[in-house]
């Protein structure tokens, strides 16, 4: 049965792109469709670098959701993160000639003025109002207060212009409309942190594949956002230096990795020479493996601690720190951070703390999909293609009455100008759905064709370079051979001359 009321969302990650469709019901998320695909070939540190591959992936994901829903998708919410995300404080002031009562309209006007703030090569994705000052007094809600001067403090969440531009280009090429661009860390905080935690002071640390994001809340307001340029893949690359593929290194990290291994087993002689089995059948000392993992994990955690201190709220986080993201599954990461930061209140968020129902078997219960679930929860518009309502045909008036004293006029045929439009309206939604799906399929095939052409061109360049290299090698060999022949003839002449001189003597 087709679904006609749902929210659709896509989250852009450095290791994978996830797509989901569902709706909210009595405080829970109902998951109706889910799909995911690898993204390392077109996304790096949260930013799209290959538009063709991105468009192909988005088109495929939307088609997969539509097949599961048996309904067409008109638009999607897009969750973004990435290294270029950061916060910039902006102050907007307005002075009144006489004392004036602050209204909602005035607040909206200075909020709109804040959105026009120029940040070099940056675009504002979200805004977190901090506080308002009227004359010399601060207010969280200034509406209704009178004064001569109003000053608003806004924390703007910004990103590189090309981040947003490439997202829009990729979705346009995939023929998928964007409902809104959502900052994933902020959506996640609203979804998983309690009101008490955000009021008392809490930091949400999202350990992603290529980046680690820190969001700090106090008094229910975002106070600081920062993104570090390393994550779980950084640790995996370190492990791969032990002569193994990245995929095997990732498996070893997840199975045997421990961010606090050395501290736990320092005085345990049995664990000094403990080994684990490599994917190729060989063995590896756990100590060697976890020395690499522990060193890189410590570097990341020390940077997280430093960002918390830079925020100015490190000593005001009365609700502590919450870990989430795929990288947070590294064993004893919380113990290692507690030793570095001296923060006692730590917890790791699992996705089952978000109440969800429906198709949940594909969602891992380790916080890996907390981001996409949060983006889904932030949506508020129906993303289904809704057929327009059919016009109601007016009933014909009763024409049987005859006026006495007059001859009845011949009955004229009743014109029905609505018949064709009604029929066309009934067919139009199906035609729209078919056209939309056809456009996406054409876009996907076009992207695949461009990728094939690019690979063929790359193959031709490689072959041309190989041929040129072979010709150069053959020329060098010929030159070397000619030089050898020349040297050989020289020595022959020299030897003959030498023998002739000896014979003369």
Q: Convert the pLDDT of each residue in 89-117 to its tens digit.
A: 999 999 998 999 999 999 999 999 999 88
Q: Are 45 and 14 in contact (CB under 8 A)?
A: yes
322 with 204: CB under 8 angstroms?
Answer: yes
Average pLDDT, the chain: 83
pTM above 0.85, yes or no: no
- Pick from 28-32, 156-160, 402-406: least confident: 402-406
pLDDT of residue 239: 93
The alpha carbons of the chain give a radius of gyration, in whole angstroms, of: 34
CA 61 to each of CA 57, 69, 139, 432, 454: distance values in angstroms, whole numbers, following the listed order: 6, 12, 46, 20, 23
Q: Which single residue is written with the structure tokens 């139009």?
A: 428
d(CA 114, CA 103): 17
pLDDT computed for residue 385 by the predictor: 85
For residues 125 and 164, the answer to whether their CB atoms sit within 8 Å is yes
From the CB of residue 363, how many other CB atoms can be counted at a distance below 10 Å? 22
Two tokens, residue 216: 């700090």
Whether the Cβ atoms of residue 282 and residue 247 lie closer than 8 Å to each other:
no
Indicate the DSSP class of residue 270.
Answer: G
470 against 95, higher pLDDT: 95
Q: How far apart are CA 356 and CA 24, in angstroms?
A: 9
pLDDT for 179: 95
The whole-number average pLDDT for the span 497-501 is 66
DSSP code for 269: G
Maximum pairwise Cα distance, the chain: 162
Backbone φ and ψ for 251, nearest 5 degrees, come out as -65, -45
E strand or H helix that includes residue 151: strand 146-160
**C-alpha to C-alpha distance for 86 and 157, rounded to whole angstroms:** 6
Within 13 Å, how many C-alpha atoms sit on residue 177's CB side? Answer: 12
């Amino acid at each position: 049965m087709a679904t006609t009321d749902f929210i659709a969302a896509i989250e852009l990650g450095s290791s994978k792109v996830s797509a989901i469709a569902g709706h909210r019901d009595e405080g829970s998320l109902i998951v109706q469709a889910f799909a995911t695909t690898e993204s390392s070939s077109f996304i790096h540190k949260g930013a799209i670098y290959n538009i063709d591959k991105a468009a192909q992936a988005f088109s495929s994901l939307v088609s997969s959701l539509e097949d599961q829903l048996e309904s067409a998708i008109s638009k999607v919410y897009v969750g973004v993160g990435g290294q270029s995300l950061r916060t910039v404080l902006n102050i907007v002031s307005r002075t009144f000639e006489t004392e004036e009562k602050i209204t909602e309209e005035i607040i909206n006007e200075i909020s709109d003025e804040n959105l026009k703030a120029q940040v070099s090569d940056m675009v504002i994705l979200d805004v977190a109002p901090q506080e308002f000052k009227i004359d010399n007094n601060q207010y969280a809600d200034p509406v209704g207060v009178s004064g001569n001067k109003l000053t608003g403090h806004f924390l703007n969440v910004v990103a590189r212009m090309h981040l947003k531009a490439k997202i829009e280009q990729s979705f346009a090429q995939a023929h998928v409309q964007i409902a809104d661009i959502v900052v994933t860390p902020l959506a996640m905080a609203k979804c998983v942190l309690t009101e008490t935690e955000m009021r008392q002071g809490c930091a949400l640390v999202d350990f992603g594949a290529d980046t680690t994001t820190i969001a700090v809340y106090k008094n229910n307001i975002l106070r600081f956002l920062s993104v570090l340029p390393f994550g779980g893949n950084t640790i995996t690359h370190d492990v791969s230096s032990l002569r193994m593929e990245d995929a095997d290194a990732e498996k070893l990290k997840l199975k045997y990795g421990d961010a606090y291994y050395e501290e736990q087993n320092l005085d345990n002689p049995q664990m000094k020479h403990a080994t684990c089995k490599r994917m190729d059948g060989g063995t590896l000392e756990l100590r060697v493996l976890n020395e690499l993992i522990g060193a890189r994990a410590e570097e990341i955690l020390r940077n997280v601690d430093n960002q918390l201190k830079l925020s100015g709220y490190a000593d005001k986080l009365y609700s502590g720190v919450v870990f989430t993201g795929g990288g947070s599954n590294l064993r004893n990461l919380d113990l290692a951070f507690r030793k570095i930061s001296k923060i006692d209140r730590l917890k790791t968020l699992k996705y089952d703390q978000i109440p969800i129902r429906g198709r949940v078997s594909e969602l891992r219960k380790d916080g890996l999909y907390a981001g996409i679930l949060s983006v889904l929860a932030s949506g508020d518009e129906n993303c289904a293609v809704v057929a327009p309502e059919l016009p109601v045909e007016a009933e014909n008036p009763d024409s049987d009455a005859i006026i006495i004293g007059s001859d009845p006029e011949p009955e004229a045929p009743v014109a029905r100008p609505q018949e064709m439009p009604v029929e066309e309206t009934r067919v139009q939604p199906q035609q729209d759905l078919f056209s939309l799906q056809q456009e996406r399929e054409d876009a996907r095939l076009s992207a695949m064709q461009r990728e094939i052409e690019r690979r063929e061109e790359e193959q031709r360049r490689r072959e041309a370079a190989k041929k040129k290299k072979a010709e150069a090698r053959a020329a060098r060999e010929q030159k070397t051979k000619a030089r050898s022949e020349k040297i050989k003839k020289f020595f022959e002449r020299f030897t003959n001359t030498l023998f002739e001189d000896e014979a003369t003597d």
